[in-house]
Structure 1
Amino acid sequence: MAIVMDSIRTRCFAVKPLLVLFGGLLAALSWAQEPPQVVLNLPGKANEGEVVRGVVAVTFAPHMHGYQNPPSEDWMIPVRVAVTTPKVELSKVSYPRGQLKVIGGIDTPAFVYDGAIQIPVEFKLPSGSGKREIAIDFHYQQCDENNCFPPDVVSARGLVLVEAPSKPPLDNGKPPVDPPVPDATAPTGTTDPPDPTGVDERSEPTVVPPSGSAPTATTDVPSPPDSQPASQPAESGLAALVGQSIRSGNYVVLVLVLLLIGLAINLTPCVYPMIPVTLSFFASQAPEGRSGRVWLGVMYVLGIGFTYGLAGGIAAGVGAAFGQLFTMPWFNFALGLLLIGLALSMFDLYQIRLPGFISNALGARSGAVGALIMGLLIGVAAAPCAGPLIFAVFAEAAKLKSIPLGVTMFGAVGIGLGLPYLVLASLSVGAKALPKAGGWMKTAKAVLGLLVIGFGLNYLLMAVNRSLPEFAEYWIWIAFFIGSSLYLFLFENAGATRAILAIKGVTILVLGGMAGMYYEQLQTALKEKELAVLGGDSGATRIQWIPFSDQAFEDAKASGKVIVVDGTADWCAECKVIEKNVLDKPETIVAMRDVVAIKVDWSTGVDPEYQRRTKELFGIVGLPHLVVHKPGGQQSRVFTHLSTPKELIDAIKEAQGSE
């Protein structure tokens, strides 16, 4: 038996070096990034003294990309063309516009090159004729979806035949007259002696930036202290959503939210029963068929849009004139109480009734004008059920202080309200496509009532947040979402039909998700407080990284602590994302207070020997590369991507043996 065990150990000992060698070979192959293909295309011939125009054709490997020149951010290393042939000057480079993409998890998109690109270039050659070789270097730093690779260079060459200019023909048999010799005493535009090599080392090619590309990153200049009123509260609610969406050009979420509000108003008991009545009116006024019904539907929606647009303009105008009111706690407190009081009508605790003249106007209708009048008044007709919700939107529009934005905001709500009429008017089945009215409308109205209470609660918290205990606001919102879910589940008794259960189920899921989101934010806030306490007066509120050296790593292994080695570089896009989303988070900083943190930096200009040593020691294939070691230095986990602090914290606990 002992002989067998010795034989097995001998074979394992012989195989182990082979496995190590094989692993190293795989790592080397993985690290050997596939360079782009570069070809310098030149014209076959050129006249002496003329500018030689060519194209640098670059083809990136699949899934690889390089950064546009000029780059979108300062830290990005853009592609660059440089001439290496002596006495040849690269006088002009026209870099193309890259593609705007989100790369490596970076929040903001960047301009990158991938696939095939062409870079027009111009050269100035020294005097003389004959075959001339032009050599260039293409500098690049490329990444794929998972790794970034060190900057590198690809060379390319091209040939051009330079021909001496032909003599002009004789003029009436007379030889051409040589040009006059320039006056040596006249200024030539430079006082520097000519460079003996024929190339001015200080000259740079003219770089033509890509048309329509984003400029390089700029630093925001702070406004003067007196340019804004003091104690200006941050935007919140729909106003923040609208303002942020307008500034960023992202209108999708904004339009969807406002359209959904308009559509939701149709589900209330005050509006829903009017849909078949209105469609019957369209059918009776347009006996000629579908086109007539659609025309009446268009007039109806125009009426709704005008009413709501006017309301939005008025709201924004009021906000512009009295916008300072929204900074006063008493006004926000009163507004919050008003919204909550109005919301109680949506639970049938009291009724809001229409004036008689509006009801009469809705009854006296005919033709396109009648449809327009009905549209003008439908928003008012919805007030008994949807008035609190409309008032909440009105308050948010007032905070915009911009009449065009207010009109747009309310107009989207109006379109959402009128859209079902237009769609159903175009269908042959018309109102038959609608589900029957019933108890589900009461449930829908209750859900909208909870939404209005949420608006009111937001204004109340804005009024009293400075006097609340720390973290109380998080708990209040969590309690509101949980309480609303319990109300729908236990006390809302409109019935148990499939539609009612579906409305309750979806709403409870959304409310549960909101409660979970606020609880996660609360945990982050608690971690930030813990971090501040740990930092104390020392200001240790970041991970204390130790630059790698062989001695530093040996000391870390002797410390008896977990070791985290982070491989990074200034050209690694994904590394910056991990630093922002994981390493700079309070919970990560707290978790690493008893960890030895070592930084391996492969930034531009890194010593090749340092790069080779760290690559072999930590098995770096590409960046990012983060290694968690157990106490003593045994490797535990390797990450080439991190999304959340939890992933790293769990790996540290595993290395500590606490899992």
Structure 2
Amino acid sequence: MAVRLGYENVYRYAEGLQDWKEMGLPTESGQISLAQPSGIGAPGSALFQSGLLLTLVGVFFGGLALNLTPCVYPLIPITVSYFGARGTDKAGLLAVHSLFFLLGLAVTNSTLGVVAALTGGLLGSVLQHPAVLIAIATILVGLALSFFGLWELRLPGFLTQAASRSYGGYGGSLFMGLTLGVVAAPCIGPFLIGLLTYVASTGNPYLGFMLFFTLSLGLGIPLATLAFFSGKLDRLPRSGEWMIWVRKLLGWVLVAMAAYFIKPLFSSHLAGIILLSAVILAAGVHLGFIDRTTGTFRVFGWLKKGIGIALILFATYQIISIVSIGAGVAWQPYSEQLLKKATSVEKPVIIDFYADWCAPCRELEQITFHDPEIVNLAKNDFVMIKVDLTRKGDSINEHLLRQYDVRGVPTVVFLDKEGKELSQLRVLSYVSPSDFLNRMATIPGAGS
């Protein structure tokens, strides 16, 4: 599924279609063939282009990892025993009980995701303010400290008691799934809150549903599957310190989410990527080498070091890749005063409409806007402005979309010295450095 936002070869993933419609902008949607390219930088599908599939896979594995925390892992024998006590040896009936359990878990988490998205969407431009982003990042780091063992999230006793009650029949299996999150809240609560915060910032209920439904599958499928193999439970690793290491791993996930939230505070998009890479590097060093947690099975030590080394190598590769491309164009945030100043000093203006989820935008940023000739010409002869459309709700951005008739991203607008657009130069997809440089050179006064 691809969505064309007004211009040829300008794609945004289908998940963002509702956002664009709410801004009153024209859209077209339709099926595309995976055998044909769907635009520069896309591997054949808008879903893959946006990274949504990778995000869902990551959330699913996050759900799997939650099963290995100290609060959930001991529940595995209890859950399996519960299914075994249903008094049936028929695999079909046992499967129905498992499905009701998964349904209960999915209903709880998916509802939380949708509500968080709808509530977060009401915040609108509030989520654009630096103070709010810093506050969110601080909360996420605080939740991460819970996973690191510095404090523990506790629920009121009456909630835990209510969730621990036993009910019979399929309704009992459903109720067990509904309340699993309450019983395991001390371990999974910080991770859920962190994910809820991210979903709230997007204001997208569809994304909220997909992420939390996927999380439920990751958390619930192992429990439901083990119900069919209750005789194999003695082969599971014993509870021990290794589960503390899993909690620390999830803690670093929350720290990475905090870094993601403060990324917009950096003037350079690449600086934000370096920050994320630094967090991953620190996580690899801590989890693989500094942490002294021991396991009850031999493979744990090798597994711990292997994951640490993998994180270090990935982060190092990212940092080296970014540093090697050198300095990029120095962008400034949009303001009316900046445009007036450009007109007064008779400098042409380039406005880049950008979003993090846009693959061609990232390609422009990392290749074209880091070309030395473009960087030099932009510094001396142009006023460079970037409009970040990653998050919706900013009234100024919505005004600019209409003012410049922006129907998709990337869109790069060229204004002459008098502030009038040179529409024939407008960029609507990825262009090479030489192509972009030629457009800059055609503007009167540039490069003189």
Give the TM-score taking structure 2 as reference length.
0.62
**One-letter code aligned to 2:180:** I
Q: If you compute each CA radius of gyration, which structure gives the higher value, 1 or 2?
A: 1
Amino-acid identity (%): 27
**1:524: how far off?**
1.9
- 1:408 maps to which of 203, 210, 215: 210
Quote the Cα distance in structure 1 between the aligned partners of 2:88 and 2:95. 12
Is 1:444 aligned with 2:246?
Answer: yes
Q: Deviations over 1:308-327 (max 9, x none)?
A: 01101110111221132211
Is 1:101 aligned with 2:20?
Answer: no
**1:532: how far off?**
4.2
Q: Deviations over 1:555-605 (max 9, x none)?
A: xxxxxxxxxxxxxxxxxxxxxxx995x97799xxxxxxxxxxxxxxxxxxx
Quote the Cα distance in structure 2 between the aligned partners of 1:518 and 1:100. 32
- 1:518 maps to which of 313, 319, 322: 319
- Give the equivalent residue in structure 1 for 2:98: 297
- 2:188 maps to which of 371, 377, 386: 386
Q: What is the SS of the residue equivalent to 2:85?
A: helix
**Please, which runs of 5 or more residues in structure 2 have no aligned partner?**
1-7, 10-31, 329-369, 383-429, 438-448
Quote the Cα distance in structure 2 between the aligned partners of 1:265 and 1:389. 9
Give the alignment of 1:639-654 within 5 angstroms. Answer: none
Quote the Cα distance in structure 2 between the aligned partners of 1:286 and 1:265. 29
Contact 1:320 1:401 survives alignment (8 Å): yes
- 1:331 maps to which of 106, 124, 132: 132
Quote the Cα distance in structure 1 between the aligned partners of 2:167 and 2:149. 33
**1:268: how far off?**
1.0
1:259–1:245 Cα change, 3 Å:
farther
Q: What is the SS of the residue equivalent to 2:325?
A: helix
**One-letter code aligned to 1:351:** E
**One-letter code aligned to 2:138:** L
**1:509: how far off?**
0.5
- 1:479 maps to which of 278, 284, 298: 278
1:524–1:302 Cα change, 3 Å:
same
Q: Deviations over 1:24-67 (max 9, x none)?
A: xxxxxxxxxxxxxxxxxxxxxxxxxxxxxxxxxxxxxxxxxxxx
If each structure's strand is expressed as a fraction of its own residues, which one has the higher value? 1
- Give the equivalent residue in structure 1 for 2:57: 256
**1:451: how far off?**
0.7
Q: What is the SS of the residue equivalent to 1:101?
A: coil
1:396–1:511 Cα change, 3 Å:
farther
1:341–1:285 Cα change, 3 Å:
same
Q: What is the SS of the residue equivalent to 2:72?
A: coil
Comparing 365-374 with 526-535, greater Cα deviation is found at 526-535
**1:428: how far off?**
5.5
Q: What is the SS of the residue equivalent to 1:429?
A: helix
**Please, which runs of 5 or more residues in structure 1 have no aligned partner?**
1-71, 74-97, 111-243, 540-577, 587-659
- 1:419 maps to which of 221, 224, 232: 221
**One-letter code aligned to 1:492:** D
Q: Deviations over 1:260-283 (max 9, x none)?
A: 121121111111110111101111
Is 1:456 aligned with 2:255?
Answer: no
Contact 1:478 1:515 survives alignment (8 Å): yes
Q: What is the SS of the residue equivalent to 1:427?
A: helix
1:532–1:252 Cα change, 3 Å:
closer
Aligned CA RMSD, in angstroms, stands at 3.6
- Give the equivalent residue in structure 2 for 1:277: 78
If each structure's helix is expressed as a fraction of its own residues, which one has the higher value? 2
Quote the Cα distance in structure 1 between the aligned partners of 2:162 and 2:214. 25
What number of residue pairs does the alignment pair up? 316
Q: What is the SS of the residue equivalent to 1:377?
A: helix
**1:413: how far off?**
0.9
1:476–1:423 Cα change, 3 Å:
same
1:430–1:306 Cα change, 3 Å:
farther
Contact 1:447 1:507 survives alignment (8 Å): no
Contact 2:104 2:177 survives alignment (8 Å): yes
Quote the Cα distance in structure 1 between the aligned partners of 2:273 and 2:60. 29
**1:307: how far off?**
0.4
Is 1:491 aligned with 2:290?
Answer: yes
Q: Deviations over 1:439-478 (max 9, x none)?
A: 221111111101101111222343x424x9x975455344
Higher RCO (CA 8 Å, separation ≥ 6 residues): 2
Q: Deviations over 1:606-649 (max 9, x none)?
A: xxxxxxxxxxxxxxxxxxxxxxxxxxxxxxxxxxxxxxxxxxxx
Quote the Cα distance in structure 1 between the aligned partners of 2:124 and 2:74. 38
Q: Deviations over 1:365-399 (max 9, x none)?
A: 13222222221111223321222221121112113
Contact 2:163 2:182 survives alignment (8 Å): no
**One-letter code aligned to 2:229:** L
Is 1:372 aligned with 2:174?
Answer: yes
Quote the Cα distance in structure 2 between the aligned partners of 1:529 and 1:251. 29
1:441–1:395 Cα change, 3 Å:
same
**One-letter code aligned to 2:196:** F
Quote the Cα distance in structure 1 between the aligned partners of 2:248 and 2:231. 30
- Give the equivalent residue in structure 1 for 2:145: 344
Quote the Cα distance in structure 2 between the aligned partners of 1:415 and 1:357. 27
Give the TM-score taking structure 1 as reference length.
0.43
